[in-house]
Amino acid sequence: MSTAGPLTGYTVIDLSRALAGPHATMMLADLGARVIKVENVNGGDDTRGWGPPFVGPEDDRQSTYFLSCNRNKQSIALDLKSEDGAATLAAMLEKADVLVENFRPGVLDRLGFDEARLQQLNPALVVLSISGFGHDGPEAWRSGYDQILQGEAGLMSLTGSGPDDPQKVGVPIGDLLAGMYGAYGVLAALLERGHTGRGQHVRTSLLAAIVGVHAFQGTRQTIASEVPHAQGNHHPSIAPYGLFRSADGFVQISVGSPKLWEALVEKFELPTAGYETNEQRVQRRDELIAVIEEKFTQLPTTALLEQLGQAGIPAGIVRTMDEVYQWEQVHSQHLAMQVRHPLLGEITLPGAPLRFFDRQQEVTRTDHAAPPLLNQDEAEIRAWLGQLSPMEAGRS
């Protein structure tokens, strides 16, 4: 079992809460960094109270939301407006490599840790700030919550059964993307610091993260002057590509090339007149879906998938979450990890998505720590800083 990773030896101070920042710091922790989560003394991270579901003993229920984004971290509870809290944070920042925060713009300054102070404390410190709408501009002041940004940044207009049915994505994708972009920015800043010796401030936002993944839907607007809209479970630019009914459920297929179209036609004896090119198939998508489903609904899902596989057509089913975590392929990729929690015992968490290999030998971190209880690691952290705890200080 190994706790080492590419970021072993780096220390991250995590002032963030909810999801975007904690997801970024969990990514860094998974890579071996020491992440110290600084939490509010009055209940800690907001997500400790987000539920149901809660699990564990009745007098100390644990939020599964919090458990989803805080593995491999330590916790210390500080009142940053107090003398001890501010001094302890300053001492940590002097020794740290990275600071992550997702306060509203200006809050960190008001706590006494503006750019000048951070530079004074540690010129090599890399700072990651994640906001809702960006740190500047006419709407920087707005609070940024995931679903609000999914709507404001256009994602909900692309998701749903049609233009009159905007839907959010089933996970807080804006938060998660902002966290991923943030971690990516931190790694780039650390790489540059290796050349210059200086840290820098990395900024991203939920708005930036969602616009950053507009991909071909963005260029449909910016270049072709089309306004994309939701159209359900079928690709806007490729056909057939999407969800189709079978005799007893659904299958998904991706026919992304002329060769695959020819294979599908041959296997299921589909008509070709008027469907010769992808452009024609996209223009007549609804007709084509009906033609294909007339064939597919004659077969149960298992048999249909077998025939699609024989024809070389990329295909799959829609799994429920319990089916995903029972799937052998998921376990083969270490995407369900077991950790021991101080209250809950052994629990299973969604696994880290990266694996590392030294040539043929895997060197991925395998020993992971459960998300911490509030203030679980105060003694160890203060010992590292050479400080007494407030209780100890009161006795001295």
By the 8 A CB rule, do 246 and 305 touch? no
Mean pLDDT of all residues in the chain? 95
| Number of domains within the chain | 2
Mean pLDDT of 379-391: 85
Phi, psi of 86 (to 5 degrees): -65, -40
- Using alpha carbons only, give the angle 97, 39, 355 rounded to the nearest 5 degrees: 50
Q: Which amino acid is at 395?
A: R
How distant is the alpha carbon of residue 221 from its chain centre? Answer: 26
Give percent above pLDDT 90 in the chain: 94
pLDDT reading at 263 higher than 80: yes
Structural domain of 247: 241-316
Does residue 4 lie in a domain region?
no
List, for residues 168-207, the tens digit of each pLDDT value.
Answer: 999 999 999 999 999 999 999 999 999 999 999 999 999 9
Q: Which amino acid is at 177?
A: L
pLDDT reading at 379 higher than 80: yes
Dihedral over alpha carbons 177, 179, 183, 188 (to 10 degrees): 60
Predicted local distance difference test score (pLDDT) of residue 387: 82
Mean pLDDT of 17-23: 96
Alpha helices in the chain (DSSP H): 20-30, 64-67, 83-95, 107-110, 115-121, 146-152, 173-196, 206-211, 215-222, 258-268, 278-283, 285-296, 301-310, 321-326, 328-332, 378-385, 390-395
Q: Are residues 272 and 206 in the same domain?
A: no
Mean pLDDT of 14-41: 97
Q: Is 175 a catalytic residue?
A: yes
Total residue length of the chain: 396
pLDDT reading at 396 higher than 70: no
Please state the pTM of the whole predicted model.
Answer: 0.92
Q: Are residues 173 and 302 in the same domain?
A: no
Q: Which of 14, 46, 175, 377 is catalytic?
A: 175
Coil, strand or helix at 63 = strand
CATH of the domain at 312: 3.30.1540.10
Q: Are residues 70 and 98 in the same domain?
A: yes
Does residue 235 lie in a domain region?
no
DSSP-assigned beta bridge partners for residue 337: 349
Predicted local distance difference test score (pLDDT) of residue 360: 84
Nearest Cα to 378, choosing from 7, 79, 57, 56? 79
Does residue 197 lie in a domain region?
yes
Nearest Cα to 126, choosing from 14, 249, 266? 14
Predicted local distance difference test score (pLDDT) of residue 85: 96
